[in-house]
Structure formats: structure tokens, C-alpha cells
Structure 1
């Protein structure tokens, strides 16, 4: 059972889907899990898939569109702002604690790809989140800083952003770029063969996972805060909640395999576990039945023990 809802992040209306167990009884109290989508994604894609699976296990699951993205409010559109995305989590908790059928002491978070990085950062300072699960977690700040992997990639990115902001302040149209090639043909023309990019195009730009709320658009002039963002900053000190990390054994250019191990190693959590799904790539864990089933099996055990 799925309900379309909204909740407030300051003045913004955040669009979300609330997934309820099939035998939902409003007189009962349920554990709840907030599900966060990857960078460039939306609630109807992999975060919604995981939310639906968690509801089948008896949880209330909330999958939301990040502010400025998908069906959520926010101008300018296509903004990827770490501080706002982290605040989205806190506001999601604010909403859940108003629901009489949610047990406020049994609220967890689940983040996929960039949503996993944001979930980790949010959990460090949101003590109402009692357990953190991540699937192929990616540190978006690291990705922005590495760029083309040259020694001054971050500085060149910041210089470009500075020029764009000056131009836009003087009246130029905002520069909207793409995260990945816009089609399989464009990817082939560019000669890109990295498995993560290949499968990202397959997932986001073909019927496999394509959705209108995920248009592959990014406001580049708004990315300076992301360049200075570290999703795992202070994990050694502040991330004490139980932690489950799930990665695939097939690494790619987005770096979720190494980010997953970095998060696991840095977290202060006394109860933490990392699961490597053998033979699975980053995008296999978005929607491929066998890989997702293994992730859900691990998450079922984790949330059962910690919520």
C-alpha cells in the first residue's frame, strides 16, 4: 500500500511516497525507515523499490524526492545541495514522529548511492535515527573533488563554477549540464566504457529505470558546496548508531566499493557490518532481482536486530 504525501523542509514541500505493510493496522505501532535516492534519481526509482520491499517486511517506509528535485519544491531546479539534502532527512523524521502508528524510538534510515552518503551524514547529527543502512554508498563530495582525477580537478571545477555564477549574476541563463551521457548512443560516441557509466546510462536513460522525475539535469553553478562536502566527516566521532553497509564486488568509476569500506572503517558504531554481494555491480544493486534480494535479506536481519 502506497500513499503520496508531502512534508515540509522549511518553506519547501518535499514530495514523498509512504509505503505501508499489506496488513497495516493504524492502531498498531510500527518501525519506520526513511529511504533516500541516489544522486540524479527520484523516489520512483531504486529508493522506492527498496521502500516497497521493506514495507513487505512489515515496516513503514518513506521514500522522498530531495528538495529542488523530482516532484519536490525548490528553485532553482536541479540543485544538488548537501546541506538541504541532509535537512530533508531531519524533516522526514519530523513528519514520521507526528504519525500515531510510527514508534518514534524505532526510526531508521536507508540510503542508496549518493543517498547513502547523505544518510550517513544526517545520521551523525540526527539522534532520532536509530539504525543506518546503506547500499552502494557514495561520497558525492569526493566524486566532485576527483573530477577527471587530475591533481587540480577540484580547483578547476571551482573556477568554472565561479565563472558561471558571475555570468548568471549578470543575466545569463543558468547552465544546466548532465550527470551522464543522455543516451546509449551518446555514451558510445564518447567512447566511455567504465561499468558504472555504462550501467548508469542503461538504468537512467532507457526503459529499464527511466522516469520523468529523473531528467539527468544538474545546475552546475550550484555545486560549489558539494566540492567542499565530505559525507563521512566526523564519522569517527559522531556515527555511533548501528550500521549496515552493502556493496557489490564489481567496482566501477563511481567508487561506491571503496566508499563503502571507508564508511565502515571510519564509523564509531559498536555494531556495524559490511556485506559484499559477489558478482554484483553498483547498478545491479539498484534493481536486479538477485542482487536486490541479497541486499534486502541483509537489511531484514539488520533492521530486525536494531529497530
Structure 2
């Protein structure tokens, strides 16, 4: 038995060395179930602290983490940043990492689980409609701007992956956000309609018929149908043609796994997703805009399209992280540090007193 355990351990080490994958913090070992390295394990006076809490948004209970900076004094005024998580992600993963790192720079930050997802309420589970995700971002702004110590006139927004696309959508009309940043932006609606890199254009109508039938079944009281309801084998993942999906499964189900994180979503959500485009009406964004992505990311085309269409802001910057793929910007220290360096510079300039 000891030999088997030792062999398995050594195989894991070899696998990590060969693939470059490093295991993050085990959520079971963290009292706040945070999965990222360097995560807060206890609130210490004078340090960055985490505050798990809930609030209501349109009758649904939203689970959130608020991070306060070192030596936080509620009688003072601080800039704040709303952080929107990726598709399938939860607040304990990459959104929490960047929220904590921004708090280390002196910001009050909030990362919540989307309604119907994670630890937030809402039935059926894992509805993934753009209107809901955008409303989640408005709701985080509602809550954090009334949090003790927050200067509502210095509110920023950071959206990651799918949360990046939804952040662009929210910022088009919500001018409480004075600066908008995205990391590895993912245009959820276009991908759900056309497929990743336009790989499913030929099946659009068939998938819409499936989604329509799924909705009819739901309203009739039948079983709720889901997309991506099964976890592929390692062999199936290895054969996937895109870095985003291969590395995404590694991140979400192995190195940074959290029980509330899942790729599945209701099939009926496609009725809303497939008519959503985060890059539409980009001219409505007049706030300063920073878009960050890895220059090796196969999702980079989404960031480039949105950036090109943002012609009505007087201040926009595209920052590419050399040699980084989409998922690697979530956890590899070298790439996270580069992203944080640019975010710190951006928010210091745009959210100044």
C-alpha cells in the first residue's frame, strides 16, 4: 500500500514537471475554500482581509466575497473594483485571485458568484443567460458602492474571460464604472452561436431547435436539459483542438478545482446566448478601457475585435502578455504579475482622486 501511494505521488510530480502544471491550493484546506496560491487563510489585523457575505438581487441571494485592503478603516474612502468571474468559474478561483491582488494595492474589491451558479441562489441551477450575468455586474456595483469606506466616484470594473464580455456589456450603459479592464475576454454569445473559432456555424439552426425543445420541456415540468453535463476523460481532453478547452479542463477540474465550479449550463440558455454579442454597440463605452490577453491565446481574436470597435473612448490600451495562453493568465505567477502590473498602473491613473 505504501509503495502504491509513493508511486502515485511520484507519477504526479513527473506529470507536473512534464506538463508545466502546478497544483494550486486545495479548497478543502482553505477556510474560505479559495483555490489559488497565496490565498488568504485567516483574517489578520493590518492585512488584506476577506469578508464572505450575501445580498439580494432581484429576489435571488447572491454569494460574494469582499476584500478589504491592509489597515482598512471604514471611516476613510477607498477606490473599489468589481471583479466578474469566467464562464463556469466561481469567486474562489481566478476572480478571487485578482480581487485579492487588487486589494493588496489598496482597493476594496468584490467577487460574487453569478445568479443561478456557484453558491448563489436561483433555480434551475446553472442557467447561463447574458442578461443575468450583466445584471450580476450591476448588482455588485449596487452593493459595493454602499459598502463602508467605498468612494462611489472611484469605481472600476475587471471582467475575466466570459465575465470580460459581460463587463463590456454592463459598462456600455452603467456609467458608475469609471474604468473598465478585461483579462482574456471571451465573447460568450458569439462562441455559443458560431462555435469556437467559427467551428460550428453549420449546426446553428439544429442547436437552436434543440434549445427551443429544451425550453418547451422545462415549462411543461419536464427534465431540465444541460450542455457539457459530463466531464471528458483525459484522453478526450488531450484530443481537443484548442488550448483554451484543454487547459480549461486542467484548471477547473484538476489544479484549481472547486465543487461549485462547472462547465454545464441549461440548453435553453442558448436561446439567449446565441443572440448576444459583447462587441455590439462598443461605441457606447466612453470610459477608459484596458484589455489584457496572452499573445499565444487562441481566444485573442475576441479581444482584438472588441478593442477595434471601441472607438468612442479617448483612452484605450491593448496589453498582450508575451507567450501566455488564455488559461495561463489565470494562475502562472509570471503572467499574473504582468497583468497585475498593468492593472495597477491603469486603475491608479483612472481612479485617482
How far off its partner does 1:96 sit?
A: 1.6
Counterpart CA distance in 2 for 1:204 and 1:99 is 31
How far off its partner does 1:155 sit?
A: 2.0
Counterpart position of 2:46: none
Larger Rg: 2
Counterpart CA distance in 2 for 1:149 and 1:225 is 20
SS of residue in 1 equivalent to 2:142 = helix
Question: Pick from 245, 263, 288: which aligns with 2:291?
Answer: 245
Question: Pick from 235, 247, 267: which aligns with 2:282?
Answer: 235
Counterpart position of 1:158: 208
The answer as to 2:257 corresponding to 1:214 is: no
Counterpart position of 1:149: 199
Counterpart position of 1:176: 226
- 280-289 or 192-201, which moves further after superposition? 192-201
Question: Pick from 196, 199, 204: which aligns with 2:244?
Answer: 196
Counterpart CA distance in 2 for 1:185 and 1:258 is 27
Question: Pick from 299, 302, 323: which aligns with 1:279?
Answer: 323
SS of residue in 2 equivalent to 1:34 = strand
- Superposition TM-score, scaled by structure 2 size: 0.82
The answer as to 2:304 corresponding to 1:258 is: no
How far off its partner does 1:149 sit?
A: 2.2
How far off its partner does 1:50 sit?
A: 0.3
Instruction: Name the CA shift for 1:14/1:56 in 2 (closer, same or farther; >3 Å).
Output: same
- Superposition TM-score, scaled by structure 1 size: 0.94
Counterpart CA distance in 1 for 2:221 and 2:108 is 46
8 Å contact kept, 1:247–1:282: yes
The answer as to 2:121 corresponding to 1:77 is: no
How far off its partner does 1:58 sit?
A: 0.6
Counterpart CA distance in 1 for 2:170 and 2:103 is 22
Higher relative contact order (CA 8 A, sep 6+): 1
Q: String of CA shifts for 1:148-172, please: whole Å, max 9, x gaps.
A: 6244332222111112223334443
Instruction: Name the CA shift for 1:201/1:151 in 2 (closer, same or farther; >3 Å).
Output: closer
Counterpart CA distance in 1 for 2:339 and 2:191 is 24
How far off its partner does 1:86 sit?
A: 0.6
Question: Pick from 214, 217, 224: which aligns with 1:167?
Answer: 217
How far off its partner does 1:183 sit?
A: 4.3
What's the RMSD between the two structures over aligned residues?
A: 1.5
For residues 20-169 of structure 1, the aligned pairs below 5 Å read: 20-147=68-195, 149-169=199-219
8 Å contact kept, 1:182–1:216: no
Counterpart position of 2:55: 7
What residue ranges of structure 2 are gaps of 5+ in the alignment? 1-48
What residue ranges of structure 1 are gaps of 5+ in the alignment? none
How far off its partner does 1:215 sit?
A: 2.6
- 49-58 or 147-156, which moves further after superposition? 147-156
Counterpart CA distance in 1 for 2:330 and 2:203 is 29
